Amino acid sequence: MLNSESLNNILENKVISRQDIIEIYQNAIKDSSELFSVAQNLRKKFKKDSVTFSKKAFLNIVNLCKDTCSYCTYKAEPGEEKLSLMSKQQIFELLQLAKKYRCVEALFVTGERPEQKYQEARDWLKENGFKSTAEYLIHASELALELGLFPHTNAGNLNFEEMRELKKTNVSMGIMLENISERLTKKGMPHYLAASKRPKARLEVLKNSGKLGIPMTTGILIGIGETVEELIDSIFAIKQLHQKYGNIQEVILQNFQPKPDTMMKNVPSVDENYFKIIVALSRIIMPEMNIQIPPNLSPKSYQSFLSVGINDWGGISPLTPDFVNPEFSWPKIDKVDENSKNAGFELKCRFPIYPEFFSFVSKELREKISVIENEEGLVKEEYWR
């Protein structure tokens, strides 16, 4: 029996309110042991003793972006050294290399509708024979599938029609909600110059993914100036979407790390214990959800998060850098395996779609998955190791 009535209620599968979560948080700031214990209990109940990851190649298709976020180092301007405008040939060659490395996921990432702002983006699309970034992504996804890789596209606020087309080739898609707070879009705040980060716009994309039945990865960014109430409300917003549409397959909890070339370069990264409390709260708000933290953003301690409720490491690449967080290289998969084992968990490789969402994809995609799938619906060990 725990001291906290709310935590006891969670273990008894009772519905708990936003106010209960705030109270649990306030108690956890003084002593987090009960919260962590309940989060781990739920994780064990629903996810057993394994932790998953996706072996991926990160294809930085185009990093021109019509928006500006105060913390983003991914976006490039024309003429910058880090500018990426991948040609069809470059995409094909990287996909071939990814297949050679036995990657499973082809992660396609772009800036937000770059052709709306930059002539360079329009010229690049024209050179490659496309009218829009979304059209180019459809081509790249078809190419990946032909080579036996599984596309997962994260290209900002795609519209309903674009997502419907991409659903034909993408086993899953992603968009970070980041935060539901309108306050963070006001002047002086991190999303002020990023119209695509307006909560309404992001929620619309997630709602469309639900209507289309696309397995969706979303998540929140922790440490960009939000309050704990805003974080809790953001997690509840994701939960409500999932209750309505049933298509949120995974929630990423990403700890903010300051980048030297950004407006928020002097903002400290989030305190680790606080981050763990948010992770554990996410597990108790959504007991059955797949919850991940990126291991490269907590390089010295990621394995300790296994004891506060996570069950996934997200995508790890043996081949390409994390272009969103270039200063944090991926840990070696062997090392993640060893650290997971030492923490009492077995590392398993998944597809960019979790087994419980296989029913969302077409018969054709399902057949392609089955080629390297084991009896658990995960990737055969002899394939990925």
Q: Cα separation of 195 and 200, whole Å?
A: 10
Q: Say which CATH number the domain at 275 has.
A: 3.20.20.70
Tokens in use for 2?
């725990």
Q: Cα separation of 334 and 385, whole Å?
A: 9
- Virtual torsion, Cα 321, 325, 331, 332, nearest 10 deg: -10
Q: Cα separation of 191 and 197, whole Å?
A: 6
Within a domain: 285:
no
pLDDT tens sequence across 52-77: 999 999 999 999 999 888 888 888 89
Distances (CA, A) of 333 to 29, 322, 361, 383: 33, 14, 28, 14
Instruction: Identify the pLDDT of residue 264.
Output: 86
Q: Is residue 51 within 8 Å of 340, Cβ to Cβ?
A: yes
Checking if the pLDDT of 343 tops 80, the result is yes
Within a domain: 334:
no
The residue that leads in pLDDT, 4 or 384, is 384
Instruction: Identify the pLDDT of residue 266.
Output: 86
The residue that leads in pLDDT, 261 or 333, is 333
Within a domain: 298:
no
Its sign, for the CA torsion 158, 159, 165, 168, is positive
Tally Cβ neighbours within 10 Å of residue 95: 23
Instruction: Identify the pLDDT of residue 45.
Output: 96
Domain encompassing residue 137: 54-280+356-384
Within a domain: 15:
no
Within a domain: 89:
yes
Within a domain: 148:
yes
Within a domain: 317:
no
Tally Cβ neighbours within 10 Å of residue 16: 16
Within a domain: 350:
no
Quickly list DSSP for 40-58.
Answer: HHHHHHHHTTEEEEEEEEE
Nearest to 67 by CA among 179, 181, 177, 192: 192
The structural domain count of the chain equals: 1
Q: Which residues contact 63 (CB under 8 A, 6 or more apart)?
A: 74, 75, 76, 82, 83, 84, 110, 111, 323
